[in-house]
Amino acid sequence: MSSIKIFIVDDELVMRKSLSGWLERDGYEVDTAESGEEAIEKLKKTRFDLLLVDIKMEGISGLDVLKHVRENDPDVAVVMITAYGSIATAIEAMKNGAYDYLLKPFDPEELGVLIEKIVEQQAQARENLFLKEQYKDRTRFESMIGQSKPMQDVFDLIRDVAPMESTVLITGETGSGKGLAAKAIHTNSPRSEGPFVLVNCGAIPEHLMESELFGHQKGAFTDAKETKKGRLELAHDGTLFLDEIGEISMRMQIDLLRVLEDHVFYRVGGTQPIEVDFRVVAATNRNLKKAIKNETFREDLYFRLNVIAFQMPPLRERKEDLPLLAEHFLRRFSQETNKPIDKISRRAIDEMMLYEWPGNVRELENAIERAVVVGKEREICPEDLPFWCSDDPTLVPQNALKDIEKAHIERILGNNQWNIAKSSKILGIDRTTLYSKIKRYDIIKSD
């Protein structure tokens, strides 16, 4: 009961005081406003469960406050308070969406019963929403969200391939959710009780890769003070997820191919063969066929990995999922940061729909996180979005994608004084990728 927040809007101090004192004894959290103007300002920053609003007030009237609430927060119950002479207005208010009205003065039990009824109905509505969300099975699959056709196809495919033992290769742009897809395959496979071990081939330096993958025996090299199990060994009975497989060195490709064929390997410095049983899921944002042509990726390894392959669709090709995803991230970050931001404005959604999202879902996730952190209102506005720039022609989607991406990277770098770590986080890509894009697009730091 203590979490129920009630907002009293009345221009008479004595009414506000007596009602708030009464409700506080019932354990409700109460706030008050002495005018419609003050009420609307407070409503922009705080969410209440119930509003008790006097109809007759100077300036912005109770009916105007009701209208504001109905437009911005239709789930909030509004009860109008009125004197005998204004019953007609109270009835008009009911037609405009007020939950009920109370005639001043009202019986204490009448108020108590009404509040309990509202609280109960709101709890019921929340439960219904929760159940409905659970039924939205088709829009969610494990941690992935999407109601678009491309995502529905991905969900179906994962359901089909998960129970099999075959190696899976997931392709797709950076930030498009390849890691989540890999995890979903694992979770829905017979190996779900076993470990899910990630090897980020792009993040582990070449000289450490061998030891990371295969482990080492004590004394195998100067720093090998203890025997250490490698990730292949740790993945026994589970799934080994080789992320950014396109970044792996030619030397490691040879070693990896051998393990994938035999499921046997040796620790660095070890003499005993170690047998392992794991399923491999690999992912890359690179065009591996092109890499084979360029002789930077082994064809035999490619065939070994490419038993079942699918592509994660980029966000720009499934924009209908954007509001759903944005709302999901908003809920998560507002909860994490404990900020009462519970809505994304229509204008902000429009801006997001226009944007091309080169960093895909990860970029969206970062954009919402940033918006929640910097946001001052209860809803996210276009100004809170990192890419927002109202008259920036690069946001117009008819530009070539690479031009948009280049301009976007330039702007983010500029805004962050060329801090690579910060910029890559905002862009939703890792630092290596950012460096390669800076090189590819010939982006130069301007003074």
What's the rounded Cα separation, in Å, for the pair 208 and 248?
12
Give the shortest CB-15-to-another protein separation in angstroms. Answer: 5
Minimal CA–CA distance to 355: which of 395, 403, 402, 391?
395
Among residues 18 and 122, whose Cβ is nearest to another protein? 18
Give the nearest distance from C-beta 64 to another protein in angstroms.
22
Find out whether the peptide bond into 105 is cis, omega within 30 degrees of 0.
Answer: yes
Q: Pick the closer one to another protein by CB: 108 or 205.
A: 108
Of 307, 398, 408, the residue nearest 354 (C-alpha) = 398
Closer to another protein by CB, 104 or 236: give it: 104
User: Which residues touch 227 (CB under 8 Å, ≥6 apart)?
Assistant: 215, 216, 217, 218, 267
Least CB distance to another protein at residue 115 (A): 11
Contact positions toward another protein, by CB under 8 A? 1, 12, 14-15, 17-19, 21-22, 24-27, 81, 104-109, 111-113
**Least distance CB 84 / another protein (angstroms):** 13
Strand ranges in 255-414 using DSSP code E only, listed in sequence order: 264-265, 274-275, 279-284, 308-311, 343-344, 379-380
- Tokens in use for 411? 């702007």
Q: Which is nearer to another protein, 24 or 41 (CB)?
A: 24
| Measured distance CA(291)–CA(248) in Å, rounded | 11
CB-wise, 55 or 199, nearer to another protein?
Answer: 55
Pairing of strands 196-200, 29-33: unpaired
Nearer to another protein, 17 or 138 (CB): 17
3-state class (DSSP) for residue 79: strand
Residues 360 and 26: their CA atoms lie apart, in Å, by: 48
Q: Which two tokens stand for residue 219?
A: 């004394």
